[in-house]
Structure 1
Amino acid sequence: MPVAWNPQARLGPRGVGYALRSMGSHTPDLWPAPLASTAVDADLRVPGSKSITNRALVLAALADGPSTIRGPLRARDTLLMAAALRALGVSVEDVDDDWLVTPGALRGPASVDCGLAGTVARFLPPVAALARGAVRFDGDARMRERPMGPLLEALRALGATIEDDGRNALPFTVHGAGTMPGGSVEIDASASSQFVSALLLAGAHYDDGVTVDHVGDRVPSMPHIEMTVSMLRDRGVDVDTGEPATWRVAPGPIKALDVAVEPDLSNAAPFLAAALVTGGRVRILGWPDQTYQPGARLHEIFTAMGGHVRHDSEGLTLRGPEAVQGVDLDLHDVGELTPVVAAVAALATGPSRLRGVAHLRGHETDRLAALATELRRLGSDVRESADGLEIRPRPMHGEVFRTYGDHRMAHAGAVLGLVVPGVQIENIATTTKTLPDFVGMWTSMLGREAAA
């Protein structure tokens, strides 16, 4: 019988620290990844999209009235965003499973904990420039290493005052003056599409709006910028995208809007992969008909790897093949899917080439080096190329799979553990970054109870 799983886990007002301590108290440092004794057969509903939730929070904070965010993701990244907005004077109130966001006068002094959330570290400095007072930003040790320079330099060019002792990285302080001149700015967003989205989200409140011209190699993860543009337009903001690599946001109000958050399709990746590698069936309930989420490409990617996919009114169903096929894929626009795709590729019958993802070296960890190291540790033949990975499957064996504090590395390890006996995942609690009850969902998918 299929396993029905509809997670209701909420981290609630006790916040991020409680969630991580709670997860850690129930999950050992080395988590024995469950081995699938039979083909997976499950229906699942994944929680809301982190990307949509955090964009909706920022836009609601800048809107002309209260907004309700229905079914938001409550995980480390989004709780950090909500806490940061509260620190800046915005009301973010729990109303059952929703968030009611009421804008307030943005002000400092305030302190923003970015954790390891790129959306917090990048989306909020352009907002903090509109506040009156000093707003200090800091985060996890790895967040201090992630690219920030192009965004900080762009904000300075637009009129912001930022103190960072020349680091162009966390920690830094934005000295808000209550207004921002805005105007035109050039930025190299080849390291992260979030640089562009950050400026667009706040740009309508700048005196002259904002025009962002990208200079440099192609921008990764363009679907996320398209998501930002779409969400701005939904709220009545005039966004001109008529020229390649240029975005113009006209000054004006951001209308309050109640919004329902879509399921996080990227977080669906390991569960669909479970069907692929076990020859089973997984249906993700509530899969949207149209979306800007990069995870929508899982349909195409997993079909190329041998899966059989059907999308109907109830959701998206994947049935696994007898054998997984190797692929040659450009994942530039959907780089966050790379860890799970790499894990599946390591279990394929032929070699795979995953390319276009050099920017993953600046994510939660250097994902290319981490994947190459951990897949080799389990026995696979992996070569790190200039912009991706070349994977030649070999017989794999149980071993510790390190996550480097990266939630998507943990997802990859769990997929491998379904068919490779003895895989132990270090720090499975890192999955709370975007999926608060990954362990419970994973074990329930397999028809088991999570270990206490």
Structure 2
Amino acid sequence: MVTPSSLPQHWPAPRASRSLDVTVSLPGSKSLTNRALVLAALAEGPSVVRRALRSRDTLLMAAALTSLGAHVDTAGDDWSVTPGALEADAEVDCGLAGTVMRFVPPVAGLARGRIAFDGDPHMRNRPIGEILTALRGLGVDVSDGDRLPFTVTGTGSVAGGTVVVDASASSQFISALLLAGARYDRGIDVRHDGKPVPSLPHIDMTVAMLRQHGVDVDDSEANRWTVAPGPIAPVDHLIEPDLSNAAPFLALAAVSGGTVTVRDWPAATHQAGDALREILTLMGCTVTLSEAGLRVSGPDQLTGIDLDLHDVGELTPTVAALCALAGSPSHLRGIEHIRGHETDRLTALATELGALGARVTEHRDGLSLEPATLHGGTFHTYADHRMAHAGVVIGAAVDGVLVEDIDTTSKTFPDFASFWGGLLG
């Protein structure tokens, strides 16, 4: 497991006192790593997840799948996964990992045993009810309730069939059912009924990875995804860098007027973080993608934006931080669903940016920000790694910013604080 560091509870975010010109290599994608681990555990033979992200979320996923009967060897940079008989009573620690809480229960239905799920106290507030209701509709024995803690009692098989879910709170509700669906007796036919599904690139990522494993997926009809029953072939995956984790580093170029290059940026990807190329361009940055990576150079003054971030809501904290520093107004829309992430990110951003002098208005589905002069103070993170990213971006441009609980970044980026501090000297 990732162990806590000796960093202070209120970490002084370093100021970018000069124009930077740096190149960084980032850890692998959490989204890709955890999807690859689930599919490998359900496959017909062993496989390898190369350059896997080693973070709290991914280690919790590896531990969860191992407790169900698979074996995940996390000793090296490349993690080998050997499927096994899913026959064991187990306790799954979800920590603060939405992917563990949502992706593992549909797998647990295939096990023979009683699988108890729980996590960090804050995790008990995050939505999971749609998946639990769907599993009950498919014949899986799930204890009463719609939040952690809960128990799945598996019989070794799931009938499968058609389920209707409201995935307007999280695209993970869809991905969770699709990942295990090929192992269900009749496959699975998932239909969304509700407001538009957020973060659709993450569902596209799931579908693409299923197809790489030889799974037949039909997504030709809007708001409907059908997975045919059949084997899941073992496939070795090479994990891309986490492009959402690139957000604060590219933002560093934007606020310092310098240049940051992120190595190994893929030419084509389903990751939501790829939208940073367009967002930063609209804010006045110069953005270039080449074989060397993605290169971003910041302007003299950031330009505000009016954007619908519905499909890329995870980028909102860093983008909002940049908007708070921009020289013209911004409006970020379509992101009501991020109220159900690690924290209510809209309220948290309005509160913390406002406490540092930002002129920010919270709306039901977004934020409006006006130009303002920011000052130092404590930026609270609410055990949310993306909030910490927003805090360090503000700290790079404003003296005296203290980021509370910087260790929360270990969720997706171990040693983030030392890495960030090293760039700023």
Give the TM interval when normalised to the shorter protein. over 0.9
Following TM superposition, the consecutive aligned residue runs of length 4 or more in structure 1 with deviations greater than 3 angstroms are none
Distance 1:300 1:107 in 2: 47
Other-structure match for 2:321: 343
Matches within 5 A, 1:20-419: 21=4, 23=5, 25=6, 27-94=7-74, 96-164=76-144, 167-419=145-397
Where 1:152 maps in the other structure, the secondary structure is helix
Where 1:31 maps in the other structure, the secondary structure is strand
How many Å apart are 1:96 and its aligned residue? 2.8
Other-structure match for 2:420: 442
Distance 1:325 1:373 in 2: 22
The answer as to 2:407 corresponding to 1:429 is: yes
Once the two structures are superposed, what CA deviation does each residue of 1:331-387 show, in whole Å capped at 9, x if it has no partner? Answer: 000000000000000000011000100001100000000000000000011111110
Distance 1:83 1:393 in 2: 46
How many Å apart are 1:392 and its aligned residue? 1.0
Other-structure match for 1:11: none
How many Å apart are 1:242 and its aligned residue? 1.3
Distance 1:262 1:181 in 2: 34
Distance 1:391 1:329 in 2: 12
Aligned amino acid, residue 431 of structure 1 = T
Where 2:74 maps in the other structure, the secondary structure is strand
> 1:41, 1:445 within 8 Å by CA — same for their partners in 2?
no
Where 1:266 maps in the other structure, the secondary structure is coil
> 1:192, 1:220 within 8 Å by CA — same for their partners in 2?
yes
Once the two structures are superposed, what CA deviation does each residue of 1:39-68 show, in whole Å capped at 9, x if it has no partner? Answer: 121100100000000000000000010000
Where 1:205 maps in the other structure, the secondary structure is coil
How many Å apart are 1:250 and its aligned residue? 0.2
Aligned amino acid, residue 199 of structure 2 = S
Once the two structures are superposed, what CA deviation does each residue of 1:140-183 show, in whole Å capped at 9, x if it has no partner? Answer: 1111111111111011111111013xx21100000001000000
Once the two structures are superposed, what CA deviation does each residue of 1:45-104 show, in whole Å capped at 9, x if it has no partner? Answer: 100000000000000000010000000000010000001111111111135311000000
Where 1:263 maps in the other structure, the secondary structure is coil
State the identity %.
60
Aligned amino acid, residue 313 of structure 1 = E
Aligned residue pairs total: 425
Where 2:326 maps in the other structure, the secondary structure is coil
Where 2:289 maps in the other structure, the secondary structure is strand
Other-structure match for 1:5: none
Distance 1:362 1:393 in 2: 28
Distance 2:313 2:126 in 1: 16
> 1:193, 1:225 within 8 Å by CA — same for their partners in 2?
yes
Structure 2 residue runs of 5 or longer lacking an equivalent are none
TM-score normalised by the chain length of structure 2? 0.99
Once the two structures are superposed, what CA deviation does each residue of 1:211-246 show, in whole Å capped at 9, x if it has no partner? Answer: 000000000000000000000000100000111100
Aligned amino acid, residue 44 of structure 1 = V
Distance 1:237 1:70 in 2: 21
Distance 2:371 2:124 in 1: 35
Once the two structures are superposed, what CA deviation does each residue of 1:15-57 show, in whole Å capped at 9, x if it has no partner? Answer: 13xx2x2x2x2x1001000011101211001000000000000
* CA gap 1:426/1:95 in 2 versus in 1, 3 angstroms: closer
> 1:410, 1:428 within 8 Å by CA — same for their partners in 2?
yes
> 1:143, 1:364 within 8 Å by CA — same for their partners in 2?
yes
Structure 1 residue runs of 5 or longer lacking an equivalent are 1-14
Aligned amino acid, residue 374 of structure 2 = M
Once the two structures are superposed, what CA deviation does each residue of 1:99-127 show, in whole Å capped at 9, x if it has no partner? Answer: 00000011231000000100000000000
Once the two structures are superposed, what CA deviation does each residue of 1:283-305 show, in whole Å capped at 9, x if it has no partner? Answer: 00000010000000000000000
How many Å apart are 1:393 and its aligned residue? 2.2
Distance 1:39 1:82 in 2: 40
How many Å apart are 1:423 and its aligned residue? 0.2
Distance 1:321 1:100 in 2: 44
Aligned amino acid, residue 222 of structure 1 = L
